[in-house]
Amino acid sequence: MAQPSAPTPTPALLLRPAAVFDGETLHPGWAVLTEGDKIKAVGPAAQLPAPAGARTVELPGLTLLPGLIEGHSHLLLHPYNETSWNDQVLQESEALRVARATAHARATLEAGFTTVRDLGSEGAGYADVGLKQAIDRGLIPGPRMVVATRALVATGSYGPKLAAGFVVPQGAQEADGVDGIIRAVREQIGRGADVIKVYADYRWGANEPSRPTFTQDELNLIVQTARSSGRPVVAHASTPEGMRRATLAGVQTIEHGDAGTPEVFKLMKQRGVALCPTVAAGDATSRYRGWRKGQDPEPERIQQKKQTMKAALQSGVDLAYGGDVGVFAHGDNLREAELLIQEYGFTSLQTLRGFTAGNARIFQLPDRGRIQPGLLADLVAVAGDPTKDIKTLRQVRLVVKGGVVVKE
C-alpha cells in the first residue's frame, strides 16, 4: 500500500519592498524573510541576504505590512440591498449560503485581510465552523477565522419576526435563565465557537427602539461560562443600559455602541472593554433605505453616530476596527477605515495600526498583527504609503498567508 507523501515544505521567501510597516512604524529600506509559516527575520535589506533555496521577491515602490485583521464580519451574509436579512435567513438554503461564503472568503483574502473575526452565522447554524475548517485544510482560499457560531439572544427578542402565531427559524440561538444559558454557551463552544457573541439589547418589536434583553445576572453567567473555557464574549449593544450591563459582565468588546454616552465609555475604559463602532454598516443601511449621500441631509442615525464617536474618542476608550461586512460587500472591507478617516477625524496611521497590531492585541491574537520574528508570515504589499493615505490599501499587489503567496 502506498504511503502518503509528506507535505512539501514551504520555501523561504525574501521580500524586498520599498518600506515595511511593522504594525506600529514605517521602516524604509527594510526587508522581511519568512521560513515555513513564520517570519524569520526583519531589518535593513542590506543585512538580510537570501538563504540558499529562498525565493527573492522584489517589491519596488510597495509597502509591506502585516495581514489586515477584520474585526467584525459575517461571511455567511451578503449585502442587504441584494437580499434582505429576513429573506437570507428564511429563504436561502444553507448550501447556497456556504457556496456564496466561499466566494466571500476569497474576496476577503485577496483584499489583504488575512484574519476575520466572524461574529455570527445569522441562521446558518455552525456553517462558519465548517468554512473555517475548509480554509484551514487548504480546500478553499480564505482568511484565518475566529468564529462565533450561532450567537445568543434572549427568547423573543431577535428575528425574523412574522405575524403572531408563526414560528420561524431564528437568526441566533435563544437561551434564558441559568440552565438554558450555560447549556447554550457550552453547546456553541463544543461545536467550535472561538468566541461567544451575545445580543445585550435588541428591538423587541418591529417598530420599537432597542432595549436591553438579558439581565445583568444572565450576562455575568454567559461571560463566566465562556471564560472558564478560555473564550471571550463579545456583545452586540447599542443602548447605554445594554452597553453598561455588558461592560460590567466583562465582555471583550462591544459592537456598534450607537447610543453610547460619555459615562458608558468611561466605564468601558475603566473595565478594559473595547468598542468596535462599525460605522460602515450604519452608512450602508442608511443608503439602502434611500439616503442619497452628499445630496440629502444626514439621517438622525448618522448624526447620532458622529456625536457618539466624538464622546468615545474623548473618553480614550480602546477601539477595535471592523465594519460589519456582509451588510455591505465582502472584499470592500476597507470601507470602515475610509469612513473613519473621511468623516470621523481619524488618521491613516491610526486606522492602519488599528487593523493590524491593535486588533491583534484586543482580540488576544499574539501570533499576528505585527511584522517581527516568530509571528505568522501573514503579509500584504500595497502600492504607495498607507501610513499617509489609507486608500493605497485598495492597491493590493501581494498577499502572503502562512508564508505561502496566495495573490501576486
Walk me through the domains of the chain, giving residue ranges and CATH numbers. Answer: 13-66+369-407 (2.30.40.10), 68-333 (3.20.20.140)
Give the per-residue pLDDT at 207: 82
CB 48 within 8 A of CB 33: yes
Residue 323 near residue 70 (C-beta atoms within 8 A)? yes
pLDDT at 328: 98
pLDDT digit string, tens, across residues 265-290: 999 999 999 999 999 999 999 999 99
Residues of the chain with pLDDT under 50: none
Q: At what angle do helices 216-227 and 177-190 cross, to 10 degrees?
A: 30
Backbone angles phi, psi at 53, to 5 degrees: 85, -5
**Given this model, what pLDDT does residue 145 score?**
99
197-210 core/surface letters (b: 16 or more CB in 10 A; e: else): bbbbbbbbeeeeeb
Per-residue model confidence as pLDDT tens digits over 130-176:
999 999 999 999 999 999 999 999 999 999 988 667 888 899 999 99
- Cα–Cα dist 354/385, whole Å: 16
Question: Residues 226, 187: contact at Cβ < 8 Å?
Answer: no
